[in-house]
Structure 1
């Protein structure tokens, strides 16, 4: 495991990203901060990708109690999670909530007993778009959920048939920062003192996944790992994420959750492989890591081929030269980011200076392999110096 990478991932920060704190204008709660993202090798999202993640991947991930517990401990209930008895955590039984209600309004509902005997409902909503009316939607769903619980005499009601507590959580993975208010009061016209007691009131927690600062992320938390996977933009990011997931999913009881993460990472890896090359659907994390490492050495050659093909189509020598140079520049940038991820910024800077003199795609491919296999920056730089001199 790479020391610098483990630290970055433990804090929830993918290598190579700069961050700027941005507090919500309405003072609402939740993790919402801006981040600057590198342009090289960015994993652009076509329309529908975020929705696919929400509907397929997130529902798989948050079908596991461990994910919900880490979400509560590290984020939504940080500071008071000790009051929740997580040994009682379970999905709200289907007999108490209709399928129609879940399909129309809620993604996932979990329930746990608090240590003082009360019950807490955790309502998870997965969003890919900023929704100005989210606070109203949350209120509507909470009301319908309460009606269902009363109608079905759910055991989460207390002896006086009082309703359980509720914690609504919105997990947002859109490209732009979340701006919508998380308090219903922000959607209602100001009330005079006489009318304030009669106005509906509710808040929800927002986790703005793609714009959050590592300062807000706990270590050794699976939701932190999820946020890092959400930010994968390059092969170096992917290799680092796979290393962390392999370390965390060592126990046999984690096999199902491991498979859910693996399927997600494989889909992302597929988008990073140039030329539409298909990755096997049943790849393990170990197989995926080795495949990415092997493919890195081949990508500069493919970029050169693509540049030549583009030049031939255009009938211009300039097109050939531009395509070849683009491949070289992109590969050098990728190798520098991988070096920063493994060995730190100083090693990356030294490597960049050496690579500026290397133009052979075969040689650049060898550097990509050594970046993963070398144990120290000194060993890497020594090998690269031999490459530069043609030894």
Structure 2
């Protein structure tokens, strides 16, 4: 049974849903068979498909892209599949350049691990894209190199040449995906990515994945999948309540799947109440510490400046514990907070008068 999506602490809801789903071999297999050219699908020994460790996306860009690397046997060697899902709603003009960088990093790691290689294994670059406009930028690396004159033909043999394999899940785009190859969960996840942030489309188009969603929720791993889907939908449709999203899903599925949705919604509400109670207990404990500290300060110093009082009431628990240890030795209320008192500069001595020289 797949691990709960709560186990993964990732950079964004898109990353969490994508990684949780397609890091499971059966769903990754369906995605690749749906996206790749048929001759490649026929040549790969899919029983050898495995998930590779590591990410090649720059740390600063992980809020915009997430990647997944897979490999399988093909012929006498291996083929690698480098899959990126975009988290942004705009088209990045130089995305094919970034993909080239990531592919080079993967080849670098492969050659470092296998220094006796005399040929590089093929890498298929797959981009999963969703935006308001659909993909409008270049897909081929050579198309982003600025050489448009008669010299271009002479330059092309010296320019890297590869093309993105695009899976465009934007509204109204087919993306050249063979839907029949996708698993039910794969279909639902790609659809969820496509309607991300669009509340009207979520409600209007839920019927497009009704049969797939029903199949997902009736499976043995249905509750884990439902939790992942609900977390994603709640994070990307912030104006909709848990009950509203649950109601939209319930209308699209059969009675057995509806029961799974109701069960998961009850669990979400139960966790929410428990979290609220825990936060309330912590808040009450912090307020109690603050009031006790103010009473001790008043008993010791007679009065507490308004600024000191306000800072204590706004402090977190760790700060209050530190202040409590200082209260018996600090000479002023300000120093209880760690503020040194006003420093008095030592009086400067007047310059000594020069004695007149005796002549």
What's the TM-score once normalised by structure 2's chain length?
A: 0.53
Separation in structure 2 between the aligned mates of residue 103 and residue 70 of structure 1, nearest angstrom: 27
Separation in structure 2 between the aligned mates of residue 113 and residue 243 of structure 1, nearest angstrom: 33
Give secondary structure in 1 for the equivalent of 2:12. helix
**Residues 234 and 240, structure 2, Cα contact 8 Å, conserved in 1:** no
Give secondary structure in 2 for the equivalent of 1:219. helix
Cα shift readout 1:130-169 (whole Å, capped 9, x = no counterpart): 1100111111111122112211228xxxx74422110111
Separation in structure 2 between the aligned mates of residue 215 and residue 201 of structure 1, nearest angstrom: 21
- Structure 1 equivalent of residue 164 of structure 2: 204
**Residues 111 and 117, structure 2, Cα contact 8 Å, conserved in 1:** no
Runs of 5+ unmatched residues, structure 1 = 1-50, 292-391
Match of 1:68 among 7, 23, 28: 28
- Structure 2 equivalent of residue 125 of structure 1: 84
**Residues 61 and 261, structure 1, Cα contact 8 Å, conserved in 2:** no
- Structure 2 equivalent of residue 327 of structure 1: none
**Residues 122 and 167, structure 1, Cα contact 8 Å, conserved in 2:** yes
**Residues 185 and 200, structure 1, Cα contact 8 Å, conserved in 2:** yes
Give secondary structure in 2 for the equivalent of 1:68. helix
- Structure 2 equivalent of residue 286 of structure 1: 258
Separation in structure 1 between the aligned mates of residue 134 and residue 58 of structure 2, nearest angstrom: 31
Displacement of 1:247 in angstroms is: 1.9
Separation in structure 2 between the aligned mates of residue 228 and residue 83 of structure 1, nearest angstrom: 29
Cα shift readout 1:44-103 (whole Å, capped 9, x = no counterpart): xxxxxxx83422222222212222211221123345312222211111145xx7797898
- Structure 2 equivalent of residue 245 of structure 1: 213
Give secondary structure in 2 for the equivalent of 1:149. helix
Q: 1:100-249 maps to which residues of 2 (within 5 A)? A: 107-114=67-74, 116-127=75-86, 128=88, 129-153=90-114, 160-188=117-145, 189-190=147-148, 191-211=151-171, 212-213=173-174, 217-219=178-180, 221-222=182-183, 223-231=186-194, 233-235=201-203, 237-238=205-206, 241-248=209-216
Separation in structure 1 between the aligned mates of residue 153 and residue 210 of structure 2, nearest angstrom: 55
1:101–1:152 CA distance, 2 compared to 1 (3 A): farther
Displacement of 1:206 in angstroms is: 1.4
Displacement of 1:193 in angstroms is: 4.1
How many residue pairs get aligned? The number is 231
**Residues 64 and 257, structure 1, Cα contact 8 Å, conserved in 2:** no
Higher relative contact order (CA 8 A, sep 6+): 1
**Residues 130 and 179, structure 1, Cα contact 8 Å, conserved in 2:** yes
CA root-mean-square deviation: 3.9
1:243–1:273 CA distance, 2 compared to 1 (3 A): farther
Displacement of 1:123 in angstroms is: 0.8
Displacement of 1:111 in angstroms is: 0.9
Match of 1:84 among 44, 56, 59: 44
Separation in structure 2 between the aligned mates of residue 235 and residue 90 of structure 1, nearest angstrom: 36
Give secondary structure in 2 for the equivalent of 1:195. helix
Deviates more, 1:207-216 or 1:52-61: 207-216
What's the TM-score once normalised by structure 1's chain length?
A: 0.49
Runs of 5+ unmatched residues, structure 2 = 1-10, 196-200, 251-255, 264-359
Displacement of 1:184 in angstroms is: 0.6
Q: Which has the larger radius of gyration?
A: 2
Displacement of 1:119 in angstroms is: 1.0
1:185–1:99 CA distance, 2 compared to 1 (3 A): closer
